[in-house]
Amino acid sequence: MSQSELARAIGVTQGSINQLISGRSRGSKHLHKIARELQTTPEYLSGEADRPEMGAENMLSHTEREWLRLIEALTPAVRTPLMQMLREMVRVQQGGRSSTLHDPSSEFLGFNR
């Protein structure tokens, strides 16, 4: 990815990116956006981490972290049918036909409609 492409992706000028890379500018309020676009972490970009993936959990949004916490709190007996239901819902949303004649959530919830 070029400096210009990165700048466009996060909404800054190419000059701003160049200043960060060359060290003429220290830090940026856009560091999180830059890290997300480059699929790394702000800690890695700022030299606070040695590996690009360290601190990757910080790249998740608040909502994504909440989803993970909720899913991790479920027992495997509940998590498995929930994952099946979500996969089916995504498939249907993407234009596929449902593989079932009933609402997939009804099976998960333990009743038929």
Q: Where in the chain is the domain with CATH 1.10.260?
A: 3-59
CA angle 16, 56, 80 (to 5 degrees): 140
- Kindly provide the b/e burial profile for residues 92-110, where b requires at least 16 CB atoms within 10 angstroms of the residue's own CB: eeeeeeeeeeeebeebbee
CB 39 within 8 A of CB 6: no
Architecture of the domain whose range is 3-59: Orthogonal Bundle (1.10)
Q: What is the pLDDT of residue 81?
A: 93
33: CB partners within 8 A, 6+ apart: 10, 11
User: Is the model more confident about 96 or about 103?
Assistant: 96
Instruction: With a cut of 60, say whether residue 111 has pLDDT above it.
Output: no
Q: What is the pLDDT of residue 110?
A: 53
Confidence of residue 113 (pLDDT cuts 50, 70, 90): very low
Alpha-carbon torsion (9, 13, 19, 25), positive or negative: negative
